[in-house]
Chain A
């Protein structure tokens, strides 16, 4: 007599989306620090750099992104701290 276990809410099976490094896939070799529209993809609403575990980029390109974002911040192309932008 298998006791049927009733769950309060249905268990959500999270389909694991395969993360990939967008730089390796598209073959981009250099992240330009001068155009903000491209860099905006790598920072969140507060202007912080998104971690690798969310974006899935490999270490080599994440370092290039970090360098580019920090240079853009120095030149006031990107803000250090922002609220609800992007």
Chain B
């Protein structure tokens, strides 16, 4: 069971609720396929450094979860299939990364 962190950008065409809904779809996908979500962050509408698909803003979302390796390939196919997602990046977290994430989280809540 490795620890992963995935960030994806949703098209700004959606409204706030639709964006939240789309995020919900992926969270359920992760939990149903044997992953456990550790941390969720919704950064909301942010301006992008360069236009993607002719759009300059997008909804950023981050999910930190624990899963085994094969599930990531299926998850990324889901990302590609869903056209609301403009861009995604899944990263495996090593120990320093995990320590950093936990420290920032505890600092945020403290």
Question: Taking beta carbons and an 8 Å cutoff, which residues of A are in contact with B?
Answer: 29-30, 32-34, 71, 73-80, 82
Contact = CB atoms under 8 A, between A and B. Distances in A.
Contacts, number: 36
Interface residues of B, number: 17
Given A30-B100, A77-B49, A82-B49, 4 more contacts: A29-B100, A71-B89, A76-B49, A79-B50
B96 A29 contact: yes
- Judged by DSSP, the binding face of B is strand
Contacts of A79: 49-50
B4 to A, nearest CB: 14
A73 B62 CA distance: 16
Interface in B39-88: 48-50, 52, 58, 60, 62, 87
A71 B91 contact: yes
Contacts of B97: 30
Interface of B: 7, 9, 48-50, 52, 58, 60, 62, 87, 89, 91, 96-97, 99-100, 104
A37 to B, nearest CB: 13
A21 to B, nearest CB: 16
A80 B87 CA distance: 15
Q: Which of B50, B60, B91 has the most CB of A within 10 A?
A: B50
Contacts of A80: 50
Given A34-B7, A34-B62, A76 B100 contact: no
A79 to B, nearest CB: 4
Contacts of A29: 96, 99-100
Contacts of B91: 33, 71
Q: Which 5 A-B pairs have the closest CB atoms?
A: A76-B48, A79-B49, A30-B96, A29-B96, A30-B100
